[in-house]
Amino acid sequence: MSRQIILDTETTGIGAGHRIIEIGCVEMIDRQLTGNHFHVYLNPDRAIDEGAFRVHGISREFLEDKPRFKDVLDEFLAFIKNSELIIHNAPFDTGFINVEFDLCKYTKKIQDICSVIDTLSMAKKKHPGQKNNLDALCKRYDVDNTNRTLHGALLDAEILASVYLAMTGGQISLFDKLLGEQESSSTASQFSYTPLTSTSPVIFATEEELQRHEEW
């Protein structure tokens, strides 16, 4: 069984001294979303940069009655245990999480607990020289992000799950693209196809095999 957690955070800003104010995680087992999730807002005990507020719309006043990171540490660790983390621009999120660990006197780094896949690094290898932020990838892989007027950790994690599945299941996307091109050409206006049927079991590639294929 392959268990993956798609994770995203929102913060008070960028750089030293800033804190996490939201964590959103969704669970995926054997490439299927289970509906289980971890979502929490956190009191950072500090001001939120104006630029960050424009991105996520989370105010300090909203967070005043929310728990601190130390209050949810055990629950967070229990949720991500025995999983592989999938994060877009992973160094940003893992860096902030490790700072929060340090402030809680928790001696491990998140990389000591889970392996981490950075979908931004993956996208840059697949699409060099192109925009590879989450919105650009949604457009490229036809993932619906119409509800994403502001960044939110849980919503972004759910969107990233769809993007990741599309990025690592490229054979279907390629077939759809080729089919669309044939249907749009004047010489293939009558093109049609009948889906193949089979009673054979479907055997999916493991995450290790997918990663080795991506590296190759």
Q: In CATH, what number is assigned to the domain containing residue 14? A: 3.30.420.10
The answer to the question of residue 47 being in a domain is: yes
Print the domain residue range for 149.
Answer: 3-172
Tokens matching residue 181: 């091109």
The answer to the question of residue 192 being in a domain is: no
pLDDT band at residue 203 using 50, 70 and 90 as cut-offs: low
Please determine, for residue 204, whether its predicted confidence score (pLDDT) is greater than 80: no
The answer to the question of residue 187 being in a domain is: no
The answer to the question of residue 84 being in a domain is: yes
The burial of 9, by beta-carbon neighbours within 10 Å (0-12 exposed, 13-18 middle, 19 or more buried), is given as buried
User: Could you tell me if residue 129 is left (phi over 0), alpha (psi between -120 and 50 degrees) or otherwise beta?
Assistant: left
Number of domains in the chain: 1
Q: Count the Cβ atoms, other than its own, within 10 Å of residue 113.
A: 16
- Tell me what pLDDT residue 148 has: 77
The residue with tokens 């080729």 is 178
pLDDT band at residue 201 using 50, 70 and 90 as cut-offs: low
pLDDT band at residue 133 using 50, 70 and 90 as cut-offs: very high
CA nearest 100: which of 23, 178, 181, 210?
23
Spatial contact of 64 and 21, defined as CB atoms under 8 Å apart: no
Which is more confident, 189 or 90? 90
CA nearest 139: which of 118, 122, 123, 117?
123
Tens of pLDDT, residue by residue over 61-75, are 999 999 999 999 999
The answer to the question of residue 198 being in a domain is: no
The answer to the question of residue 177 being in a domain is: no
Would you please indicate which residues are annotated as catalytic (active-site) residues?
Answer: 151
Please determine, for residue 40, whether its predicted confidence score (pLDDT) is greater than 80: yes
- Tell me what pLDDT residue 177 has: 44
pTM score, whole prediction = 0.77
Please determine, for residue 199, whether its predicted confidence score (pLDDT) is greater than 60: no
- At residue 167's C-alpha, the angle toward residues 2 and 13, to 5°, is 90
The answer to the question of residue 49 being in a domain is: yes
The answer to the question of residue 185 being in a domain is: no
